[in-house]
């Protein structure tokens, strides 16, 4: 009997990014090739990248993933916000893999179960599996990973509905327990300010990125609460920062910032995008 794997079909290919494999590969390679990075002076253990359509945020995402280009990881944990309502706080995929035009990424089922157990211990609540979700913020990162990384890897997908600091600190700790000792990469998916004029967006985004670079998720929460910064993936970024600290991360480097206005030419109402990496000593 030929049993087909249960793969999540892409709901955004052909809309948020090209559905043609050759065109998609060329576009992502162009974004990666245009991103010129300084000597980072450490080993990247986490990436922070935007999640708008590739036309808008792809040039910035290229900076985030350029630093791991050609590297191999056994496991990649992508933490992203769930934009649509769901009654449960922490979600994962109920499928066995994610499909993109570049192929299928298998889900690390054992690690999903391990993370669920760690979350139950940390927070008293685990992961809820969802099927055929329409969430773009996690999937949008996958073609970049498929083009940038060398070799095959397993995917640990986490979508966050409840972004409270206590919940995200518990998620960060559980992620660190699950990934410790593994050749693993963390990815936090977030855009920055939404629909402000360019000048105000640049102020808010600069403050947010400076706070991220200070490697203080506590201060990042305070900044957003005070209205001095903005990030729709505040929780995922904070969780990844907390996890990266436990896994030996010591510094954060912001690599690039831009807005949708830099693509469209309309600066009256823009969305901000930032790229950053977390480093540990080599």
Q: Which residues pair with 154 in a beta bridge?
A: 75
Query: What's the token pair of residue 114?
Result: 């391990």
The pLDDT score that the predictor gives to residue 4 is: 53
Q: What is the DSSP string of the chain?
A: --PPP-EEPPSSBTTTB-SSHHHHHHHHHHHHHH-------SEEEEEEE--S-HHHHHHHHHHHHHTTTT---SEEEEEEE--S--SSSEEEESSSEEEETTEEEEB-HHHHHHHHHHHHHHHS---EEESS---HHHHTTHHHHHHHS-S--EEEEEEES---HHHHHHHHHHHHHHHTTS-EEEEEE----EEE-HHHHHHHHHHHHHHHHTT-HHHHHHHHHTTS---TTHHHHHHHHHHHHHTT--EEEEEEEEETHHHHS--SSEEEEEEEEEEE--
Residues of the chain above pLDDT 90, percent: 98
Could you tell me if 243 and 254 are in contact, meaning their C-beta atoms sit under 8 angstroms apart?
Answer: no
Mean pLDDT of 78-92: 96
The residue written with tokens 């990469």 in the block is: 185
Give just the sign of the alpha carbon dihedral 136, 141, 144, 146: negative
Predicted confidence (pLDDT) per residue in 91-146, tens digit = 999 999 999 999 999 999 999 999 999 999 999 999 999 999 999 999 999 999 99
What's the CA gap between 50 and 31, in Å, rounded?
13
CATH superfamily of 31-280: LigB-like (3.40.830.10)
Phi, psi of 140 (to 5 degrees): -60, -25
Token digits of residue 146:
């498929």
Q: Give the confidence band of 282 by pLDDT, cuts at 50, 70, 90.
A: confident
Res 2 pLDDT > 60: no
Rounded CA-CA distance 87/64 in Å is 32
Sign of CA dihedral 154, 160, 163, 165: negative
pTM above 0.75, yes or no: yes
| Mean pLDDT along residues 162-179 | 97
Can you give the pLDDT at residue 3? 46
pLDDT digits (tens, 9 = 90+) for 52-82: 999 999 999 999 999 999 999 999 999 999 9
Query: Each residue of 18-45: pLDDT tens digit?
Result: 999 999 999 999 999 999 999 999 999 9
The token pair that represents 160 in the structure block: 């966050």
Q: Report the mean per-residue pLDDT for the chain.
A: 96
Over residues 262-270, the mean pLDDT reads: 97
Q: Find out whether 187 and 47 touch, Cβ atoms under 8 Å.
A: yes
Dmax (CA) of the chain: 61
Compute the distance between CA of residue 52 and CA of residue 118 in angstroms, rounded to an integer: 31
């Amino acid at each position: 009997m030929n049993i087909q794997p249960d793969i999540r079909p892409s709901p955004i290919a052909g809309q948020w990014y090209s559905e043609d494999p050759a065109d998609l590969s060329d576009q992502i390679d162009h974004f990666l090739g245009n991103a010129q990075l300084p000597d980072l002076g450490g080993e990247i253990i986490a990436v922070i990248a935007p999640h708008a359509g590739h036309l808008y945020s792809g040039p910035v995402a290229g900076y985030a993933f350029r630093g791991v280009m050609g590297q191999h990881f056994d496991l990649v944990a992508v933490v992203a916000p769930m934009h649509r309502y769901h009654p449960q706080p922490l979600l994962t995929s109920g499928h066995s893999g994610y499909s993109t035009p570049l192929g299928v990424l298998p889900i690390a089922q054992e690690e999903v179960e391990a993370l669920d157990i760690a979350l139950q211990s940390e927070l008293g609540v685990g992961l809820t599996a969802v099927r055929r979700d329409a969430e773009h913020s996690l999937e949008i990162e996958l073609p970049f990973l498929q083009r940038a990384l060398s070799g095959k890897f397993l995917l640990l997908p986490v979508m966050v509905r409840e972004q409270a600091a206590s919940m995200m600190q518990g998620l960060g700790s559980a992620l660190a327990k699950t990934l410790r000792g593994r050749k693993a990469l963390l990815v936090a998916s977030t855009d920055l300010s939404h629909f402000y004029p360019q000048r105000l967006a640049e102020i808010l985004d600069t403050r947010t990125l400076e706070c991220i670079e200070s490697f203080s998720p506590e201060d990042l929460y305070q900044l957003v609460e005070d209205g001095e910064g903005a990030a729709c993936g505040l929780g995922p970024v904070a969780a990844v920062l907390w996890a990266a600290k436990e896994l030996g991360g010591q510094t954060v480097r912001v690599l690039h910032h831009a807005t949708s206005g830099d693509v469209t030419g309309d600066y009256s109402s823009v969305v901000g995008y930032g790229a950053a990496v977390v480093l540990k000593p080599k």
